[in-house]
Chain A
């Protein structure tokens, strides 16, 4: 795993510690997948704090009013960032979890489809939104989250992830939306 130097990712002393705190679990959830486990980074308070700080530093002056986090690992990183930016936190959830009126967006999986939901009224037209998830792989989940937010008239400023699986070229599947990552893995 390396921290690459491009204008879409970050070279910083803190990134090396973050990268090395992430555990790779082979063959999960199925053979051939090298799963990027962020739970070990959460066990290193310095690495976890640095992760949040790196995102907050980037977005602090960008007038972000909403941080949207994708269930469930987006719920771990999104709220601390939202709190530091003084922004709302909006959870984007699996079906039937949110209790109020929702809008849904269907998206493709390797086999079949899934759905993500957001509460009606959580985000107003024109709000500047940052979407957070722990990792970008194919970009399918993030693309669906972008669609959901654009359907309510939000302005998705950027997507931010801790890790990018660069070979899957997820960033090419997000239309014109940029993605910022801390660690790029090949």
Chain B
């Protein structure tokens, strides 16, 4: 669901966050309007708003783990984890984590990739929030959900700064709700996602 439709209608912070995101056309390839959050990080107020909105939503939900998807999930996840007193668990590309891992493969446009989590980072029954900067097809987040569920955790929600419903009106990924602050901006140009 969009934050605006879920209690934050008219909240000026949402516009400030959206305005702070830079759209870079045709990156990494033609037709993609890349939503660049680095400009949001250069605006301390807007970055603060982003974290605050998520923290306000999740503070009383008994979440014990925030899992962040490498690499931009590492920027948004830890401040949320720190504010709600949860563990932070990095979900990483292959061979980065030094200890014993569990891996989950997922499909890319061409080929596959893999997400890994340390064995023992999450205990069965823990309530988990997954954080990434953006949700597009949902492939990465689906893999993240599968990893956490294989460890016996309950994924309460996936939170992203930017995203769209996966199919019109569908705000669930493998049954897990998706919470998004802003939609991708196209500026004046047409785009096919």
Contact = CB atoms under 8 A, between A and B. Distances in A.
B98 A25 contact: yes
B41 A76 contact: no
- Most chain A CB within a 10 A radius of its CB, from B38, B86, B90, B121: B38
B98 A91 contact: no
B138 interface: no
Given A45-B81, A83-B48, A91-B38, A76 B98 contact: no
Contacts of B34: 99
B124 to A, nearest CB: 15
Contacts of B22: 100
Contacts of B13: none
Interface in B142-183: none
> Which of B36, B78, B89 has the most chain A CB atoms closer than 10 A to its own CB?
B78
A91 B81 contact: no
Nearest to A121: B42
B119 to A, nearest CB: 11
B87 A76 contact: no
Given A79-B41, A83-B51, A99-B36, A45 B75 contact: no
Given A42-B88, A72-B70, A90-B42, A80 B78 contact: yes
B94 interface: no
Contacts of B30: none
B55 to A, nearest CB: 11
Interface string A50-82: 001000000000000000000111011101101
A37 interface: yes
A72 B81 contact: no
Given A42-B89, A83-B48, A88 B41 contact: yes
Contact of B82 (A52, A87, A91, A97): A52
Given A45-B85, A75-B74, A39 B79 contact: no
Contacts of A147: none
B2 interface: no
Given A71-B71, A88-B42, A122-B38, A43 B81 contact: no
Interface in A110-133: 119, 122
Interface in B113-132: 118, 121
Contacts of A44: 87
A39 B82 contact: no
Nearest to B66: A42
Contact of B38 (A28, A37, A119): A119
Interface of A: 23, 25, 28-29, 35, 37, 39, 42-45, 48-49, 52, 71-73, 75-77, 79-80, 82-83, 86-91, 93, 96-100, 119, 122
12 contacts: A25-B98, A39-B89, A39-B97, A42-B81, A42-B87, A72-B90, A79-B79, A89-B42, A89-B75, A91-B38, A100-B22, A100-B36
